[in-house]
Amino acid sequence: MRHLLTFRLIEAVARAGSMRRAAEDMNITASALTRRIIRFEEDFGAEIFERVPGGVRLNPAGELLLHHYRVMQSDLSRVQGQVADLSGVRRGHVSIACSQALLPYFLPRQIAEYRAEHPGVSFAVNVRDRSQTEQELASYSSDLALVFEPLYLVDFEVLQIIPQPVCAIMQAGHPLARRKEIRLRDCLDWPHIVPTVEYGVRHLLDTAARRNLRKLTPMVETESFELIRHYVRHENVIGFQIPIGLPDNAGDELVYRAISDKDLKPGSLILGQKRGRTLPVASARFAVQVAAALEACVYPD
């Protein structure tokens, strides 16, 4: 335990890429930080940083050490959660990396429901694209990930998976809103606003368009699904989102309809954790709750 502060300092240097910047971040003098790391390296028996232009970076020994620290942090959080259970006090911290679609409706409900029973548990919600979410798990930066159409699934243990069709969002008076079946080609014939290529919705749209010898030609491209949903209110265009990121009732102003699976098969929304990791108690229980809530999700066509 005596090296925990030093580990946090090492992590800060690795993150900042500079002793000076890390010292500023950690409110310590650069000379004191350097001396502490040198003493640790002497005890450890190996150097853990190498100099590079403009700063420092972890060498292979340092990478192994930092991984050990993150595993140790995870194990310590799990034991603290188990000790809290012994006293009947539910405490802990849950960190989750997620796609934007989970932010407006699904995740706030789940966190509030969990905290209603366990008010001592805190949360960190890290908004990431589909490749970053997996990196968050690998680095122990997040306990759980909720991601639409993940890229690699390397060391990713799937806890729950549900299908999510891509929906077209439009004004209620749009000509396509009256059709029983929404085809992708019809959407692309209208001006459209789409997410950037890092996101699963865009990946599915691009793949389906190529299969139909079409190409997306967005008049607006954005990293924000919130912008997509609100922009449609101001111009008669087509936007795209998955159902879990849309309100239960769009009101009289907007409608959203699933694009026909003749053109675009539903994608997968996946809840997962790092394979082989034993989660802290609070995170494990929250995962059970979220998995059940996802299983209960039913969306209209």
Q: At CA 294, angle to CA 288 and CA 300, rounded to 5?
A: 165
- The mean predicted confidence, pLDDT, of the chain is 88
pLDDT (mean) for 160-179: 94
Among 83, 13, 91, which residue's Cα sits nearest to residue 47? 13
Q: How far apart are CA 272 and CA 144, in angstroms?
A: 6
Q: How far apart are CA 16 and CA 19, in angstroms?
A: 8
Burial class (CB in 10 A: 0-12, 13-18, 19+), 237: buried
pTM value? 0.71
**Which fold does the domain 166-265 belong to in CATH?**
D-Maltodextrin-Binding Protein; domain 2 (3.40.190)
Query: How does strand 167-171 pair with strand 267-274?
Result: unpaired
Which tens digits make up the pLDDT trace of 292-301?
Answer: 999 988 654 4
Q: Is the pLDDT of residue 88 over 70?
A: no
Which tens digits make up the pLDDT trace of 159-169?
Answer: 999 999 999 99
Q: Which two tokens stand for residue 192?
A: 């459209």
Q: Is the pLDDT of residue 2 over 60?
A: no
Burial class (CB in 10 A: 0-12, 13-18, 19+), 190: middle
Q: How far apart are CA 112 and CA 271, in angstroms?
A: 18
Q: Is the pLDDT of residue 1 over 60?
A: no
pLDDT band at 86 (very low <50, low <70, confident <90, very high): very low
Q: Which residue would you say has higher pLDDT here, 278 or 192? A: 192
Predicted local confidence at residue 158, as pLDDT: 93
According to the CATH classification, is domain 4-64 in 1.10.10.10?
yes
**CATH 1.10.10.10 residue ranges for the chain:** 4-64
Q: How far apart are CA 159 and CA 47, in angstroms?
A: 39
Are 182 and 260 in contact by the 8 Å Cβ rule? The answer is yes
Predicted local confidence at residue 251, as pLDDT: 62
Predicted local confidence at residue 30, as pLDDT: 86
Q: How far apart are CA 126 and CA 96, in angstroms?
A: 6
Partners of 161 in the β-ladder:
270
Q: Is the pLDDT of residue 98 over 80?
A: yes
Q: Is the pLDDT of residue 269 over 70?
A: yes
**CATH 3.40.190.10 residue ranges for the chain:** 90-163+268-295, 166-265
Tell me the C-alpha to C-alpha distance, in Å, between residue 220 and each of 50, 83, 174, 196, 231: 44, 52, 18, 10, 9
CATH number of this structure's domain 90-163+268-295? 3.40.190.10
Q: How far apart are CA 117 and CA 75, in angstroms?
A: 24
Q: Which residue would you say has higher pLDDT here, 69 or 144? A: 144
Strand order in the sheet with 167-171: 239-241, 167-171, 254-258
Which tens digits make up the pLDDT trace of 227-241?
Answer: 999 999 999 999 999
**Cα-to-chain-centroid distance, residue 154:** 15
Q: Which residue would you say has higher pLDDT here, 68 or 14? A: 14
- The type of residue at 222 is T
